[in-house]
Structure 1
Amino acid sequence: MGKRIGLIGASCRAMAASLVRGGFSVVAADMFADYDLGQIGEVRALRNYPWSARRWLRDTDVDAWCYTGGLENYPRLIERMAREKRLLGNSPETLRMVRDPFWLAGLAKRHGFEFPETHRIHDPAYNPIDPQPSDQWLLKPYRSAGGLNIERVSTLPKSAHRFYLQRKLSGVPMSAVVLSTMQGCQIVGVNRLHIGPQYGAPLPYLFAGAVSLCVPETNSLEPIVNAIHEEAGMIGLWGIDFLQTDRPTLLEVNPRWTATTALHERMRENPLMPRHVQACLQDEVKLSPRFAYWSSGVRIVYASKRLEFTDRMLRGIHAAFSLTEESYLTNQKIGDIPIPGTTIDVGSPVCTLYVDAKSEALAEEALRVNQELLEEIIYSEGSSSGDC
């Protein structure tokens, strides 16, 4: 197989950088088509995401293609696209299983691990708002990513096929990154998630970032990961979200490169996406052990007011975060930088920050400091009114 890979998703930049580090060239169809993605590969904005993806793939010269965030919710579209060019990722059949909360509930029952109580909308055996709305239940869309549009139950939607009900549980929100190969699967790393307005996200369950655990305990996760790997036929890089209490409770499977995968690449000399490609080609894969014990952090900075991203902001980011041609690929401090002239609405993502530190607490503090630095650049007087 050649080395020209097509990427499709809401944000392809981190995945693209990993491939380029591994000697591949990339062509990306991206919802945002950010400035720094254009520095490492060819990029086109998909205006009618995801429906325009199939035509883009058909018309683009690539040897194979991968999907990332959001596209996993459209297995029928992926099935049609896989007929156009070789897919490097989990199959539509696998997606239909792991994106179905009721299949996951059955998996948990068969293998003896925890999964929240889950119901269909208008289930005659259960009504969560009788006699009154309960804060113990969440309304969750079948098609979602990053916690988007999850909310507490207040009324039941009329479009029952779009949502389901899940019991709200307490615990620390966590995630894990996994690599599945034909030989088995390995947990690459574990993260503590940053969710909701406490970390600057505009919605209560929206992903705002994470820090990786320096020395994660993975024994309790392995039965869950192994069950998903074996029964769903997982391949390549993927992740799970879970709640940690005395034992982990599985919440969701993300069957592709996740927003926290880049944190674990920062801990390794070799990039992870080439391992994903090898796994999908059924080659033997050797994942290098972690060579340092530290924590890496990621933070999505959402706009607190409407702004236009300007050349002056871009210059400020270059200076403050030491952007160079090499830094776009290796241990980047900031990513997903908009193209000057882009209008960013309230609650929309502006940039993604990355840090490395000796502990999770120090990583969280570094993210806070860097967020303040970025916000000073983008919200300083006159900076949102145009360039000078």
Structure 2
Amino acid sequence: MNVESWSMDGKRIGLIGASCRAMAASLVAGGTSVAVADMFADFDTCRIAEATPLKRYPWSAPAWLGKASVDAWCYTGGLENYPRLISRMSRACPLLGNQAETLRQVRDPFRLAEWARKHDFQFPEVARDASSDSSGRWLLKPLRSAGGLNIQHSTSADFSSCRFYRQRFADGVPMSISVLSTPDQWQLVGACQLHVGSDWGTPTEFLFAGATTLPLARLEALPELEAIVAALHQESGLLGLWGIDVVMADGPIVLEVNPRWTATMPLYERNLATRLMPRHIAACGDATFDRLPTSANGTSGLRILYAQRPVRCTAEHLTELSARFDLSTEASLAQPSIADIPNVGTEIEVGHPICSLYADGADEAEVERSLADQVTAVQRILQ
């Protein structure tokens, strides 16, 4: 079921994904009623919305949607890897986001390689098996993944081509570009430098650990990035909010497209002092949208804190976190310093994410100092 025109007035929106807290905050702060179904139903998510943990994510999502009494729904991280599931759910309830056919195109690395050749932008060589040129460094990447999960160096010719593909390693600075679009127009929302791997406290080399915003106006490669966005928009018809992961070397090298709300988007909300999810919903229903502000206020950063040893969250932990960080509903909706907080009794294994930390400052150095202080504080409390 396609949404040709949509107004949020009096409507209730369902949100589904691995973690929906930030999307929910973006909508609730603007007065929209939401219901959330994700893997965690974290403490602060429950503070701001009706939240349900999906025990068999994503396969239990259709049943939840059928009972949730929502007028439309949106998805975020992970669900884009299941276009058949999304197609089934969109027939049952209007989807405010990219439909299954669009997902099949933009999540196909071999389709992206075709578009790169056609529009003359950089995209690493990809292969379905190990029979291609084996020289140089290659990565083994899952066809269904998000956040850098299960990416590894390709050291063996023995792998399942129905679950993985090979991509030639591209060296450079990892970045994320966010976009807002309708069928007829698009606008860059912002850019971030990504923090990836064990240097940032993750258990594996390519796992997402956070990001800091970069001023669009200062990007030397801005014209190239705009040309890439225009090409992808032309070929795919992407709607609403979406992102592109790139590596910046002698120019931007596209790695993949994320056709939904991404983890870096709350940073732009802090920078631009505006809510993005209402704009996403408007863009999915209309041919035009009001352009976003172009000047950002300072720099914002995100850090995902991963467990270095097993953690069991207690009521005492929440009391101490509240003394260090404001855990009120108002703070969760405004500009939280800590978010995605586990509920009392939650047991977190080594290498699993504990929470998200945010900071704002005049520049990247100030933001990183603040995030480091917050990491130390949370580790002292929880670990």
**TM-score by structure 2 length?**
0.94
Partner secondary structure for residue 327 of structure 1? helix
**Is 1:74 matched up with 2:74?**
no
Q: How does 1:164-179 map to 2 (within 5 A)?
A: 164-179=165-180
Greater alpha carbon shift after TM alignment, 193-202 vs 320-329? 320-329
Report the Cα offset of residue 11 of structure 1: 0.5
Q: 2:206 aligns to what?
A: 205
Task: Give the counterpart letter for 1:162 in structure 2.
Answer: R
Aligned CA distance change for structure 1 residues 346 and 181 (closer, same or farther; 3 Å):
same
- C-alpha distance in 1, partners of 2:115/2:329? 46
Q: 2:348 aligns to what?
A: 344
Q: 2:4 aligns to what?
A: none
- C-alpha distance in 1, partners of 2:124/2:130? 18
Aligned CA distance change for structure 1 residues 267 and 109 (closer, same or farther; 3 Å):
same
Task: Give the counterpart letter for 1:241 in structure 2.
Answer: D
Report the Cα offset of residue 291 of structure 1: 4.9
Gaps of 5+ in 1: 129-133, 380-388
- C-alpha distance in 2, partners of 1:293/1:66? 28
Partner secondary structure for residue 382 of structure 2? helix
Aligned CA distance change for structure 1 residues 27 and 216 (closer, same or farther; 3 Å):
farther
- C-alpha distance in 2, partners of 1:252/1:178? 14
The answer to whether the 8 A contact 1:122-1:160 is kept is: no
Report the Cα offset of residue 154 of structure 1: 1.7
Report the Cα offset of residue 158 of structure 1: 3.9
Q: 1:57 aligns to what?
A: 65
The answer to whether the 8 A contact 2:30-2:275 is kept is: yes
Partner secondary structure for residue 187 of structure 2? strand
**TM-score by structure 1 length?**
0.93
**Is 1:106 matched up with 2:114?**
yes
**Is 1:34 matched up with 2:38?**
no
Q: 1:358 aligns to what?
A: 362
Decide which of 71, 89, 107 is 2:97's aligned counterpart: 89
Partner secondary structure for residue 219 of structure 1? helix
Divergent runs of 4+, >6 A:
none
Q: 1:263 aligns to what?
A: 267
Task: Give the counterpart letter for 1:318 in structure 2.
Answer: S
Task: Give the counterpart letter for 2:105 in structure 1.
Answer: M
1:258-295 CA distances to partner (integer Å, 9 max, x unpaired)? Answer: 00000001122320000000011125311331454311
Task: Give the counterpart letter for 2:227 in structure 1.
Answer: P
Partner secondary structure for residue 162 of structure 2? helix
Q: How does 1:9-28 map to 2 (within 5 A)?
A: 9-28=17-36
Report the Cα offset of residue 157 of structure 1: 3.7
Q: 1:368 aligns to what?
A: 372
Report the Cα offset of residue 60 of structure 1: 1.2
Q: 2:316 aligns to what?
A: 312
The answer to whether the 8 A contact 1:275-1:287 is kept is: no
The answer to whether the 8 A contact 1:190-1:216 is kept is: no
Q: 1:275 aligns to what?
A: 279
Q: 1:382 aligns to what?
A: none
Gaps of 5+ in 2: 1-6
